[in-house]
Structure 1
Amino acid sequence: MYLYLNGEIIEEKQARISPFDHGFLYGMGLFETFRVYDGHPFLLDDHLVRLQDGLADLKIKKSLNRAQVLEIVKDLLLSNGLQQAYVRFNVSAGNGEVGLPSTDYENPSVIVFMKELPSIIVEKQAIFLQTRRNTPEGEYRLKSHHFLNNIYAKREVGKNPSVEGIFLSADGFLAEGITSNLFWVVGEELFTPTLETGILNGVTRNFVIQIAKSIGLRVQEGYFLPEEILKSDEAFITNSIQEIVPLAKIETLNLLGKEGPVTKRLQSVYTKYRTSLWSKNELAKEIQHGPKQIE
């Protein structure tokens, strides 16, 4: 594997970071994961907006734009002989004194690597986790290096990739999956937990909400108890690598899974635009100039 480290494309075995990097010492770092389809980094602009917002919040001075990131991605695709890829884009705080800082980080490290896409999982089953979702360290949840809560949850679920764990908040409300956002369908209404529960503001989550509204679904974000999802017809989870994954079962409740009509409609639109869009905000324009109705 070839990766990008602070301006250079190098072999994996050459990669080095300092033990005094605060991303290592204190978890002061952020990352984005996204997919490349036929050379196109899907929704890259949305990922960069979230990344830049997080960097500002952590006082890590680094400005990244589409052109810069696209050049890195293209170089890595060429070096690794890939056209479809899983990409992880990391920005770490960089070296600092031992001790908790109060000033800005002026020299962050950028590490980017990619790999072949994992096998597609057509549908999953889910359980409610005993591990509760921790509260964000700040005002909202960052996509940061702090992943211990997720690791505890994954250990609870086990190795089976076809089983997803559903976090509940400390107050007992539905939150999100271990590395995914959560949705369910009742009739022609789509439900998802509010960001106020402390969940990640997922890029794919926002795109799916945009799709749903474009095809006439009513979307409700709010505080929901576990029994409410157990009244659903369909449910699915989302993230940028797995896309939209139907749930065939939650606890003992059997669902429509991959045969769910609403889930299939959302998947159809998602697939149609994943080789062209840079941001969810482009969707309405694309639909307006495309077919009048999405089947």
Structure 2
Amino acid sequence: MTRTVYVNGEYLPETEAKVSIFDRGFLMADGVYEVTSVLDGKLIDFDGHAVRLQRSLDELEMQSPISKEDLLEVHRELVRLNGVEEGMIYLQITRGAPDDRDFVFPDPETTAPTIVLFTQNKPGLADNPAAKKGMKVISIEDIRWGRRDIKTVQLLYPSMGKMMAKKAGADDAWMIQDGFVTEGTSNNAYIVKGNKIITRAKSNDILHGITRAAVLRFAEEAQMEVEERNFTIDEAREADEAFITSASTFVMPVVEIDGAKLGDGVPGRVAPRLREIYLDESRKAAI
């Protein structure tokens, strides 16, 4: 079925959607994005994604072409038009399409931002079988630019990291900087030692995950101990458990790092419980 997408104020069949070849998102990766999950036909953590979107725009001195209220209505309309019960909505805003290619930012008075949204229908997202068996990761050097807290469309290296993992027979890669884990290619990374959940603290080095914030809040409400600090890849390999969080995976156990099994090589106690809590609480708060 042909999807209906949203481009610069219009709902269009995906086959008719067009963006200029001079768009700076295409030429310069000059854009930001967000991905919001849909469960039971409702939006998960929309407010958090909207706030982070505005932060990313502000950090790049980019104007928003749409209000938060209108953005919510676009999300809901796309869910309705495409009949999405479980899946994601991808949103991208770029600095727009000036008359020609130039490194200098175009005048915002004459060049409007480009905004694009589309849905991805993913039945079974909440009941993903991978959550029951866990995933395998490898470690790779983190060579991305220094502002990973801005959710930009500069995704070439994360894409390469996923391909490195695939070639190694793994599911994803954790990136390493100065011996410490920063994050996964498209997710935040955690280890569990004893009863303590350990994850890198927020900074310019990692994306400030919306799912991360919710999961850490739920963990503390469930009387789980959380420590935000750097941890090494060697420490990760010796952990009792590990997991990732993201809008598309929620909470996903990690059972192997660089070929070393964690614990018994199957999901432990903490990650599955956090996934259960996250899904339950998120469904209650969905809009």
Structure-2-length-normalised TM-score: 0.88
With over 3 angstroms needed to count, the CA separation of the structure-2 counterparts of 1:83 and 1:159, relative to structure 1, is farther
Instruction: Specify the code of the residue in structure 2 equivalent to 1:135.
Output: W
Distance 1:243 1:189, change over 3 A: same
| 1:215-240 per-position Cα deviation (integer Å, ceiling 9, x unaligned) | 11221111221111122111101110
3-state DSSP of counterpart to 2:235: helix
In structure 2, the CA distance between the partners of 1:256 and 1:35, relative to structure 1 (3 Å rule), is farther
The number of aligned residues is 275
**Residue 264 (structure 1) aligns with:** 272
Distance 1:266 1:38 in 2: 20
The answer to whether 1:174 aligns with 2:181 is yes
Instruction: Say if 2:234 is the partner of 1:227.
Output: yes
* Residue matched to 1:125: 136
Query: Relative to structure 2, which stretch is displaced further, 96-105 or 225-234?
Result: 96-105
1:86 is matched with 88
Q: Does 1:156 align with 2:164?
A: yes
Q: CA deviation at 1:82?
A: 2.1
CA distance in 2, matches of 1:69, 1:277: 18
- 8 Å contact kept, 2:237–2:262: no
Amino acid at match of 1:49: V
d(CA) in 2 for partners of 1:63 and 1:276?
Answer: 30
What is the distance in 1 between the residues matched to 2:284 and 2:169? 29
* Local SS of the residue matching 1:60: coil
1:17 counterpart letter in structure 2: V
Give the Cα–Cα distance (whole angstroms) in 2 for the partners of residues 21 and 258 of structure 1: 46
Query: What does residue range 1-295 of structure 1 map to in structure 2 within 5 Å?
Result: 1-62=3-64, 64-96=66-98, 97-102=100-105, 105-106=108-109, 107-117=112-122, 120=128, 121-122=130-131, 123-129=134-140, 131-136=141-146, 138=147, 141-158=149-166, 163-169=171-177, 171-196=178-203, 198-251=205-258, 252-255=260-263, 259-277=267-285
Give, as a single letter, the amino acid of the residue that structure 2 aligns with 1:216.
Answer: Q
Superposed displacement of residue 32, structure 1 = 0.4
Q: Decide whether the 8 Å contact of 1:23 with 1:94 is kept in 2.
A: yes
- How far, CA to CA, are the matches of 1:178 and 1:118 in structure 2? 23
1:102 deviation in Å?
A: 4.4
RMSD: 2.2
Aligned to 1:100, the other structure's residue is in SS state coil
How far residue 45 of structure 1 moved from its aligned partner, in angstroms, is: 0.5
Query: What's the CA shift for 1:40?
Result: 1.5
Q: Which moved more, 1:81-90 or 1:175-184?
A: 81-90
> Quick one: which amino acid aligns to residue 232 of structure 1?
A
Work out the CA distance in 1 between the residues paired with 2:107 and 2:265: 47
Residue type at the aligned position of 1:108: P
The equivalent residue for 1:292 is none
Residue-by-residue CA offset, 1:67-109 (whole Å, 9 max, x unaligned): 3122112221222122222110111111124212246635111
Distance 1:147 1:201 in 2: 16
- 1:258, 1:88 → 2: CA distance? 32
Gaps of 5+ in 1: 280-295
State how far apart, in whole Å, the 2-side matches of 1:64 and 1:255 are.
48
Consecutive unaligned residues of structure 2, counting only runs of 5 or more, are none
What's the offset of the Cα at 1:247? 1.1
| Shift of residue 204, structure 1, vs aligned partner | 0.9
One-letter amino acid of the counterpart of residue 260, structure 1 = G
Q: TM-score, normalized by length of structure 1?
A: 0.86
- The 3-state SS of whatever aligns with 2:197 is strand
Residue range with higher mean Cα deviation, 118-127 or 239-248: 118-127
CA contact (8 A) 2:33 2:92 kept: yes
- Change beyond 3 A, Cα 1:273–1:25: same
8 Å Cα contact 1:258/1:264 also seen in 2:
no
Give the secondary structure class of the aligned counterpart of 2:242.
strand
